Amino acid sequence: MKVLVIPCLNDNYSYIIYDENTKIACVIDPSESRPIIDAIKTNNLNLKYILNTHHHYDHVGGNKELKEEFNTKIIGFEGDKNRIPEIDILVQDKQTWSKDNFEIKIFHIPGHTIGHICFYFPKDKIIFTGDTLFSLGCGRIFEGTHKQMFESLNKIKSLPPETLVYCGHEYTLQNSKFCIKYDSENNKLKDKIIEISKKIEKGLPTIPSKIQDEIDCNIFLKANDLQSFSKLRDLKDNF
Ligand code: ZN
Ligand code: FE
């Protein structure tokens, strides 16, 4: 499987994952249709599936137009069936959904929204985390509780350390400023900041990250208990 990173809107990322032999593709969280249509055509891909992590507009904005253009099937959480536009295939927590050489394990990871899910490709060791786990950060808690978000992050944290993490936004540099403020002696974090700064300077995405990097550097994953996690999340809201 190959992944294309598609910048959308201001700071969103959509991703196209495709089988290099069959050219069959899925898009994750199409914020808007135009950049996706261009990438599909440029790479001669067959876009068969849209995977939505949650219902926010900057993650589903392209659903309708992509479906019209490519007759794409839209996959989302069963609990969000009334708020994911044009949804076709309902998935649930811990389900494995397989089609066309894609094998995708679904995890329900509430917190940012109550219906948020992530898409884990175990054979490829790739995860799409939407607005739950960001590189060096985590999503704001809009609908769920701190406890839900903490538990959701712990689920992601337990995946193989070499798993590549593709998240919904380019927030990494801004997130790093919060991490280094409260974890100023962390040398792995310092190295990571140098690495991401170079990428940003060159206009490159800082994504993907790796689970192990996030465990080492992301202050929200370093929180060992709910209380310290909640305190950090509240501090970040006002940072
Ligand atoms: Zn969101
Ligand atoms: Fe978002």
Cα-to-centroid distance, 169 and ligand 2 (Å): 7
Task: Give the pLDDT score at 187.
Answer: 98
* Closest-approaching ligand to the CA atom of 115: 1
pLDDT of the residue at 63: 98
Q: Which ligand is nearest to the CA of 168?
A: 2
CB atoms within 10 A of CB 227: 11
What domain range is 118 assigned to? 2-237
Note the pLDDT tens digit of each residue in 164-190: 999 999 999 999 999 999 999 999 999
What integer is the mean pLDDT of 71-99? 98
pLDDT value at residue 169: 98
Q: Which residues does 4 contact at the CB level (< 8 Å), separation at least 6?
A: 15, 16, 17, 18, 39, 43
Starting from the CA of residue 170, give the closest ligand: 2
Q: What percent of the chain has pLDDT over 70?
A: 100
Number of separate domains in the chain: 1
Q: How far is the CA of 131 from the centre of ligand 2 (A)?
A: 5
Q: Kindly indicate the confidence band of residue 50, based on its pLDDT and cuts at 50, 70 and 90.
A: very high
Nearest to 206 by CA among 221, 217, 235, 228: 217
The sign one gets for the Cα dihedral 18, 19, 22, 26 is: negative
Predicted pLDDT at 230: 98
Which pLDDT score, from 0 to 100, does residue 124 have?
97
CATH code of the domain covering residue 174: 3.60.15.10
Return residues with CB closer than 5 A to ligand 1 (ion): 56, 131
Helical H segments across 14-112, by residue range: 34-42, 57-60, 63-70
CA 55 to ligand 2 center in whole angstroms: 9
pTM for the whole thing?
A: 0.98
> What's the average model confidence in pLDDT over 200-216?
98
**Banded pLDDT at 62 (limits 50, 70, 90):** very high
- What is the model's pLDDT at position 94? 98
Residue 161 banded pLDDT, cuts 50, 70, 90: very high
Q: What is the pLDDT of residue 89?
A: 98
Q: Output the pLDDT for position 146.
A: 98
- The closest ligand to the CA of 141 turns out to be 1
Q: How far is the CA of 187 from the centre of ligand 2 (A)?
A: 30
In this prediction, what percent of the chain has a pLDDT beyond 90?
Answer: 100
**Cα 10 to ligand 1 centre (Å):** 14
The predicted pLDDT at position 23 comes to: 98
CA of 60 to the centre of ligand 1 (A): 10
**What residues pair up with 121 in beta bridges, in sequence order?**
126
Cα–ligand 2 centroid distance for 185 (angstroms): 30
Ligand 1 center to 138 CA (angstroms): 11
Could you say which ligand is closest to the alpha carbon of residue 12? 2
Q: Which residues are catalytic?
A: 54, 56, 58-59, 112, 131, 169
How far is residue 90's CA from residue 113's CA, in Å, rounded to a whole number? 17
Give which of 222, 50, 54, 64 is closest to 144, Cα–Cα: 54
Tell me the average pLDDT across 205-211: 98
